[in-house]
């Protein structure tokens, strides 16, 4: 084809916006776009996933690991529907993604044609900031520019729908005239600083408090130093949300770790006993683990003013960039000697570290999953990238893994969708092929989506500068998180037909794909397995046979009531002696004074 087409215009616009790869799965509705990608001779690469949902996860992962905009494409109908889960992941975790979606030809729209779905209403909620069906060639540059600007400005997914026949239409010659909007592919971030009066009020509140706690989320990604400086000046302790965990150094003696149901006992102490709370870039939904309303006065810093006061009664809101806001706030704060409050926080952090080690050492059948992650500490390369799937492995990541400074770690945090770890890991590896990747996933998530995307790993790994892509599968033959949730939330016994998973040989499957597979059924072999994986000359799947009865016990004191509910569920099970014994062991460890 010699004539320049609308699809060529799309590729050119992507190039100017800095897009170097598009994730997706082909289909007749985007054939024109596929042709333009081919003609671009690699200016914009195409990464074929095994499923459109996984392609969307890859686009989300790309945005999270690079700080850029992830781009995904699919055909109309079923392909478009499959994108929704990944796009909702982008929406709920607040990352910019642009989806370019095919549609049937304009001449048949409204005829109930094969694979015809009214796509604008389909995407209207997930892409509430911007979704547009392109009707004529002249719209294409403007619509793409608006999609990219909106995705970047609002940290959200945006959707551009391009009918099949339009993709092959002649590229437009745009001139400024009535009914034509000529735009430029550019965007600049607003300079956002809190108001001086708000900064003064926040400083007055924090200066008057005796027991300050910081709750740090992903919005503090570029403000790690400012967070620590304020904590040091106020003698405060720091807890993180799940998404904020990578942005605070957990080796510091006053960093209490992750908060919430899957969090640490030290974070529970910190948030349960503070009299002032500084929330930095967090919208964490675990509200029952915040200080009781009225127990602590609160200040919140967030770039998105709509999130201020969204989870907790806040007295002072600081709408602005976290680093700039905290630096301005720091100049107004009074330095205080580290007193009884800081000492108590550090004592609880020390107690938690002992407790975490003790938990990982509890004998299980055959392997305690907490120890699997704990053995990764000290072995994780300093330049690694980490992805985590949804399920019980998130608990062990949150509680046991100490990330080296600068190591990114991402998961589907708010949507909490299973199946994200391998697509996320692939996006990280494609963005930085010279860095090793570690993906932590349960057997449920691997059976749902991960095993399919191991095919993609096998297809691409020989192109990577560093071939290390280590997948650790916690194989407990169970949907363990849901099983424990049934016991805890409903006081219901385990329902085998719902919870039991079919056996799948993950390590053997990896070897079938030409990768390395390591099977671990003895906890004493874990260290060697991690060492072998990081020394391998190809991607590795470590399959660990873990114990599904290791309890997902929330930190006390909230966990005390939850444990009783779990016991009621276990009492209704025929053979729950092992699970009951483990639960009692964990609860006794929680109650033990001084760890």
pLDDT digits (tens, 9 = 90+) for 120-153: 999 999 999 999 999 999 999 999 999 999 999 9
Separation between Cα atoms, residue 315 and residue 309, nearest integer Å: 8
- Whether the CB-CB separation of 159 and 117 falls below 8 Å is answered with no
C-alpha radius of gyration, the chain, whole number = 25
The share of the chain scoring above pLDDT 90, in percent, equals 90
Average pLDDT, the chain: 95
Whole-number Cα distances in Å, 561 to 491, 554, 558, 589: 11, 10, 6, 15
- Whether the CB-CB separation of 428 and 385 falls below 8 Å is answered with yes
Counting beta carbons within 10 angstroms of the beta carbon of residue 565, is it exposed (0 to 12), middle (13 to 18) or buried (19 or more)? middle
Polymer length in residues for the chain: 595
pLDDT band for position 1 (cuts 50, 70, 90):
very low
What is the per-residue pLDDT for 556?
87
Whole-number Cα distances in Å, 592 to 325, 467, 557: 40, 45, 12
Of 206, 267, 275, 258, nearest to 237 (Cα)?
267
Separation between Cα atoms, residue 80 and residue 74, nearest integer Å: 6
Separation between Cα atoms, residue 457 and residue 277, nearest integer Å: 44
What is the per-residue pLDDT for 106?
87
Is 108's pLDDT higher than 90? no
Separation between Cα atoms, residue 410 and residue 388, nearest integer Å: 6
207-238 pLDDT per residue, tens: 999 999 999 999 999 999 999 999 999 999 99
Q: Where are the beta strands (DSSP E) in 347-468?
A: 385-388, 409-410, 437-442
Is 177's pLDDT higher than 70? no
Determine the average pLDDT of the residues in 483-506.
95
What is the per-residue pLDDT for 178?
58
Is 297's pLDDT higher than 50? yes
Separation between Cα atoms, residue 549 and residue 366, nearest integer Å: 11
Separation between Cα atoms, residue 121 and residue 116, nearest integer Å: 13
Identify any residues that bridge with 212 across adjacent strands, giving them in sequence order: 276
* Residue 113 dihedral angles phi and psi, to the nearest 5°: -70, 160
Helix (H) or strand (E) holding 430: helix 421-431
Determine the average pLDDT of the residues in 337-356.
96
Is 328's pLDDT higher than 50? yes
pLDDT band for position 2 (cuts 50, 70, 90):
low
What is the per-residue pLDDT for 592?
81
The residue behind tokens 């080796």 is 251
51-55, 103-107, 193-197: least confidently modelled range: 103-107
What is the per-residue pLDDT for 189?
78
Q: Please list, in sequence order, all residues whose beta carbon lies within 8 angstroms of the beta carbon of residue 433, skipping any fewer than 6 positions away.
A: 463, 464, 465, 466
Of 547, 473, 465, 559, nearest to 510 (Cα)?
473
Of 543, 552, 400, nearest to 484 (Cα)?
552
Separation between Cα atoms, residue 80 and residue 83, nearest integer Å: 5
Decide: helix, strand or coil at residue 224. helix
Is 593's pLDDT higher than 80? no
Determine the average pLDDT of the residues in 243-270.
97
* Residue 491 dihedral angles phi and psi, to the nearest 5°: 55, 35
What is the per-residue pLDDT for 493?
94
- Whether the CB-CB separation of 387 and 65 falls below 8 Å is answered with no
Separation between Cα atoms, residue 455 and residue 509, nearest integer Å: 10
Separation between Cα atoms, residue 157 and residue 33, nearest integer Å: 20
Task: Read off the tokens for 187.
Answer: 């965007």
Determine the average pLDDT of the residues in 182-189.
76
Q: What is the DSSP letter of 129?
A: T
Is 59's pLDDT higher than 90? yes
- Whether the CB-CB separation of 522 and 498 falls below 8 Å is answered with no
Whole-number Cα distances in Å, 486 to 261, 362, 478, 555, 565: 15, 23, 13, 18, 10
- Whether the CB-CB separation of 445 and 418 falls below 8 Å is answered with yes
CA dihedral (380, 385, 388, 389) positive or negative = negative
pLDDT band for position 416 (cuts 50, 70, 90):
very high
Separation between Cα atoms, residue 247 and residue 287, nearest integer Å: 21
pLDDT band for position 73 (cuts 50, 70, 90):
very high
- Residue 107 CA from chain centroid, whole number: 41
What is the per-residue pLDDT for 190?
73
Decide: helix, strand or coil at residue 280. strand
* Residue 199 dihedral angles phi and psi, to the nearest 5°: -60, -40
Residue ranges of the alpha helices (H) in 461-495? 480-489
pLDDT band for position 351 (cuts 50, 70, 90):
very high
Separation between Cα atoms, residue 459 and residue 545, nearest integer Å: 27
Is 31's pLDDT higher than 70? yes
């Amino acid at each position: 084809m010699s004539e320049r087409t609308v699809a060529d215009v799309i590729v050119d616009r992507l190039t100017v916006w800095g897009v170097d790869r598009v994730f997706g799965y082909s289909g007749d509705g985007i054939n024109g776009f596929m042709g333009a990608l081919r003609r671009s001779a690699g200016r914009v690469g195409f990464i074929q996933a095994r499923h459109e949902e996984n392609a969307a996860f890859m686009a989300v992962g790309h945005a999270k690991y690079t700080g850029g905009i992830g781009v995904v494409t699919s055909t109309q109908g079923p392909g478009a529907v499959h994108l929704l889960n990944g796009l909702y992941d982008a929406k709920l975790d607040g990352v910019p993604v642009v989806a370019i979606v095919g549609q049937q030809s304009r001449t048949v729209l409204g005829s109930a044609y094969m694979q015809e779905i009214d796509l604008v209403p389909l995407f209207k909620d997930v892409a509430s900031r911007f979704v547009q069906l392109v009707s004529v060639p002249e719209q294409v540059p403007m619509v793409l520019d608006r999609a990219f600007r909106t995705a970047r400005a609002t940290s959200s997914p945006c959707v551009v729908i391009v009918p099949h026949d339009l993709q092959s239409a002649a590229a437009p010659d745009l001139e400024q005239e009535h009914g034509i909007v000529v735009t430029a592919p550019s965007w600049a971030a607003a300079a956002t600083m809190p108001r001086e009066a708000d900064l003064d009020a926040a400083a007055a509140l924090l200066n008057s408090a005796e027991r300050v706690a910081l709750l740090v989320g992903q919005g503090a990604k570029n403000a790690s130093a400012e967070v620590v400086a304020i904590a040091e000046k106020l003698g405060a302790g720091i807890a993180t949300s799940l998404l904020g965990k990578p942005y605070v150094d957990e080796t510091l003696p006053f960093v209490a770790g992750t908060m919430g149901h899957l969090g640490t006992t030290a974070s529970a102490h910190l948030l349960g006993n503070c009299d002032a709370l500084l929330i930095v870039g967090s919208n964490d939904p675990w509200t029952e683990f915040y200080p009781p309303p009225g127990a602590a006065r609160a200040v919140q810093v967030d770039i998105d003013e709509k999130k201020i006061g969204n989870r907790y009664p806040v007295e002072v809101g600081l709408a602005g960039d976290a680093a700039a806001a905290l630096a301005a706030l720091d100049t107004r704060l009074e330095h205080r000697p580290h007193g009884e409050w800081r000492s108590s926080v550090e004592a609880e952090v020390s107690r938690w570290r002992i407790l975490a080690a003790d938990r990982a050492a509890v004998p299980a059948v055959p392997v305690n999953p907490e120890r699997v992650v704990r053995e990764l500490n000290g072995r994780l390369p300093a330049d690694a990238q980490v992805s985590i799937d949804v399920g019980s492995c998130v608990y062990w990541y949150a509680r046991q893994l100490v990330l080296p400074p600068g190591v990114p770690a991402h998961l589907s945090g708010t949507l909490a969708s299973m199946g994200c770890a391998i697509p996320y890991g692939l996006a990280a590896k494609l963005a930085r092929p010279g860095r090793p990747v570690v993906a932590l996933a349960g057997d449920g998530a691997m059976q749902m989506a991960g095993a399919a995307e191991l095919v993609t790993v096998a297809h691409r790994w020989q192109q990577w500068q560093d071939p290390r892509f280590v997948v650790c599968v916690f194989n407990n033959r169970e949907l363990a998180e849901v099983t424990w949730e049934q016991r805890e939330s409903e006081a219901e016994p385990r329902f085998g037909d719902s919870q039991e998973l079919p056996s799948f040989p993950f390590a053997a499957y990896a070897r079938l794909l030409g990768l390395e597979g390591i099977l671990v059924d003895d906890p004493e072999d874990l260290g060697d397995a991690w060492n072998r994986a990081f020394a391998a000359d190809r991607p590795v799947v470590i399959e660990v046979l873990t114990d599904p009865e290791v309890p997902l016990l929330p930190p006390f004191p909230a966990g005390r009531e939850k444990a009783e509910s779990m016991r009621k569920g276990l009492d209704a099970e025929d053979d729950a002696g092992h699970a009951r014994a483990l639960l009692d062991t964990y609860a006794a460890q929680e109650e033990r004074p001084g760890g």
